[in-house]
Structure 1
Amino acid sequence: MRVVLALLCAGFWTAVLAAPSTLNSTPSLNATGSNCAGINGLSPRCRPVEANHRREVFYVGGHYQLDPQTQQHFLVDQMYVEKLTPFRSPHQRYPLVFFHGGGYSGAAWLQTPDGRQGFASYFLERGYVVYLVDQVGTGRSTQADLTAYPIKGVQSAEITLRGFTRMQDYNDYPQAKLHTQWPGTGREGDSAFEALANLAIPLTTNNDRLESSMRNAGCILLSIIGKSFLISHSIGAIHPILLSDQCPDLIAGNLNLEPTTVPFESIVGGPSSPNAGRVPNRKWGLTNTPLTYLPPTTNPEDLKPVRAGPDSAARRSCLRQSEPARKLPNINKVPYVALTGEASQHAGSDHCIVEYLQQAGGKPEWIRLAQIGIHGNGHFGYLERNSEQIAKVAERWIRRHEV
């Protein structure tokens, strides 16, 4: 029997009193003129940048499982949740739930690597209650059973350089040369680079167990807090898809920054060939575990993926369903938008996600930041120098869908 574990750590509220700040302000200097960017912000002489808020901590979604060796029952599959409430009373209709990307935790939403306010503070200052989660098996949601949740580290310095902070130095895809927004040098030794490197943590490799646990814990969370907007980054975008399939009536909208849910495969690119780096993945199209399709099916092979469109390093071909395509009735109930940076590898592959949802009967939106005058962003746009511009785009989309 599934139960909900909701524990308020230490039994008190903690008020975080921060001086007023804007999301994109220059990192503070202390009284002696010392730099407070990145990890230097640890100094007690540096002013805090987070918005004023109260913080509570919970775990949800756990259930008891019998250990055959000890014959004792242990709680498993619980998800860590931080509830951040504006210091002044919240006045927005719907809360926001943030899902981090792979190899990170909910802490990624709190502040940028160069020490500015993160998305959490931006929306707190605008009156939203904010929920930050650590996906099950990761960070503060790490499970004791490493057989069920094996973990691995994936964030080497080389991956960070090539994929996130210095893409312009490589020839993996044409858009990379447009990258201009990473704060600092983007190289080892720079405070912002080291802050991002330190933010990365191991993640679980058991995608099936992860998805099942997140589907359960996420819908339990939404059943408690009510209808909410879900905001995700990268592989974290798989969780709003799962929840839209499981409990769509509890979701006001899904806003996905650079979603890593390319149908049926992962595309990691490569300098020598547009076909380099294609890895089979997400056998149910957008997920590894079953989704509700019409006509119904219990066999992912019934989706019969076929390759569509020309393929180049700048715009990748996509796998779609064979026609007539099955529909995604639950997922299609929830407004969906993908935000894509100009200089990210996603600029050449996010169309695959949008087109798959369209083929399945949905009406997804796709905001390409360069087309609305926001230039130079890589995969971590919400942490880059113009992050406030991206936050404003996200806020406008949310306002349009607050019905």
Structure 2
Amino acid sequence: MLADNTGREGFNDMFLRKRYATYLVDLPGRGRAGRTTAETAIRPLADEQFWFDIFRIGEWPAFNPGVQFPTDKDSLDQFFRQMTPDIGTHDMTKELDALSALFKRVGKGILVTHSAGGFPGWLTAIRSPEVRGIISLEPGTYVFPEGEVPEDMPSLTGTMKGIAVPPEEFNKLTQIPIILYFGDYIPENVTDKLGGENWRVRLQMGRKFVEAVNRHGGHAALVELPKIGIRGNTHFLMSDKNNNIIADHMAAWLRQNKLDR
């Protein structure tokens, strides 16, 4: 899969070149698996500016300074074409059944999740012993042991809530290496910016998730890319112009945790 219309490679090709068997997954009702028997109503919306802002590409129509998202007209047009209506039913049971069935079929492997895929990723690792590790790119939601869920985090785009799971289920996440990646333009304090606010609380909750995993004896890490000198990344780390640098960092983590065998 190409990262953009210029022919740059995406993570799929990059990890194939690193000699990893790679599978791209669309959850039921999403992307190329969007055909569904569920009924829905689709309203036409002129929401391009919203997506541009919420995913930290910039504040429409200005790009963020130093942004790694390709700023040419054709790439932006291609991005907007990907913002199709959501016709998925968001049936978590079906999503978990599908991911678990995939791992049973292909065997042990590393689960790479992104955004809304982060939550079903945690639950898949809890129920599937074939998941050897998780790389989560800016996950949207987190699980915590019952009785240890952090306080809600209000923000301009809604309240961020942790999800409670039984301690014995959460402990399964402590048995595998986990790493989270977050990009740039995420503030520490409350702002009036959609993108900044949306990911401010998700980053802060992510820090608490990593703390909880490690407190229970796990092996979790959170990489804030600007803090290690990698700047300009949007919510789409896999398709930003420096995606090769991020892929190399991910590959090094896999080697360090003996997940490349």
TM-score band w.r.t. shorter chain:
0.7 to 0.9
Aligned to 2:172: 330
Aligned to 2:193: none
Aligned to 1:164: 55
Q: Which amino acid aligns with 2:48?
A: A
Aligned to 1:227: 108
Paired residues of 1:179 and 1:378 also in contact (CA < 8 A): no
Aligned to 2:191: none
1:323-360 deviation per Cα after TM superposition (whole angstroms, max 9, x unaligned)? xxxx7112222211111112243366313123134335
What is the CA distance between 1:179 and its match in structure 2? Answer: 4.8
Q: Report the secondary structure of 2:238's partner residue.
A: helix
Aligned to 2:192: none
Number of equivalent positions: 239
Aligned to 2:190: none
Aligned to 1:294: 167
- 2:67 alignment partner, one of 173, 176, 180: 180
Q: Which amino acid aligns with 1:226?
A: G
2:45 & 2:16 partners in 1: Cα distance?
31
Aligned to 2:125: 244
The structure in which a higher percent of residues are helix is 2
Q: Which has the larger radius of gyration?
A: 1
Q: Which structure is richer in relative contact order (CA contacts within 8 A, separation 6 or more)?
A: 2
- 1:354 alignment partner, one of 207, 232, 251: 207
Counterpart mapping for 1:2-401 below 5 A: 109-147=1-39, 156-164=47-55, 166-167=57-58, 179-185=66-72, 190-204=73-87, 206-207=89-90, 209=91, 211-247=92-128, 249-261=129-141, 275-279=155-159, 284-285=163-164, 291=165, 293-294=166-167, 328-344=170-186, 345=196, 346=199, 349-359=202-212, 361=216, 362-401=218-257
Give the TM-score, by structure 1 length.
0.52
Task: Note the residue ranges of structure 1 that are not aligned, 5 or more in a row.
Answer: 1-108, 268-273, 286-290, 296-326
Give the TM-score, by structure 2 length.
0.78
Q: Which amino acid aligns with 1:261?
A: T
Q: Report the secondary structure of 1:260's partner residue.
A: coil
Paired residues of 1:252 and 1:402 also in contact (CA < 8 A): no
Distance 1:280 1:127, change over 3 A: closer
What is the CA distance between 1:240 and its match in structure 2? Answer: 1.7
1:125 & 1:229 partners in 2: Cα distance?
16
Paired residues of 1:119 and 1:391 also in contact (CA < 8 A): yes
1:276-306 deviation per Cα after TM superposition (whole angstroms, max 9, x unaligned)? 2224666x34xxxxx4x127xxxxxxxxxxx
What is the CA distance between 1:163 and its match in structure 2? Answer: 2.4
Task: Note the residue ranges of structure 2 that are not aligned, 5 or more in a row.
Answer: 144-148, 187-195
Q: Could you say what the CA RMSD is over the residues aligned between the two structures, in angstroms?
A: 3.2
Distance 1:152 1:141, change over 3 A: farther
Distance 1:359 1:367, change over 3 A: same
Paired residues of 1:234 and 1:260 also in contact (CA < 8 A): yes
What is the CA distance between 1:256 and its match in structure 2? Answer: 1.0
Paired residues of 2:48 and 2:80 also in contact (CA < 8 A): yes
What is the CA distance between 1:128 and its match in structure 2? Answer: 1.3
1:207-252 deviation per Cα after TM superposition (whole angstroms, max 9, x unaligned)? 3x2x2112111111111111101112111112221111111x2112
Paired residues of 1:258 and 1:338 also in contact (CA < 8 A): yes
Q: Report the secondary structure of 1:278's partner residue.
A: coil
What is the CA distance between 1:257 and its match in structure 2? Answer: 1.2
What is the CA distance between 1:164 and its match in structure 2? Answer: 3.2
Q: Which amino acid aligns with 1:334?
A: I
1:255 & 1:398 partners in 2: Cα distance?
9
1:164-183 deviation per Cα after TM superposition (whole angstroms, max 9, x unaligned)? 36425699xxxx95552121
2:46 & 2:131 partners in 1: Cα distance?
31
Q: Report the secondary structure of 1:230's partner residue.
A: strand
Paired residues of 1:339 and 1:367 also in contact (CA < 8 A): yes
Distance 1:140 1:356, change over 3 A: same
1:192 & 1:215 partners in 2: Cα distance?
33
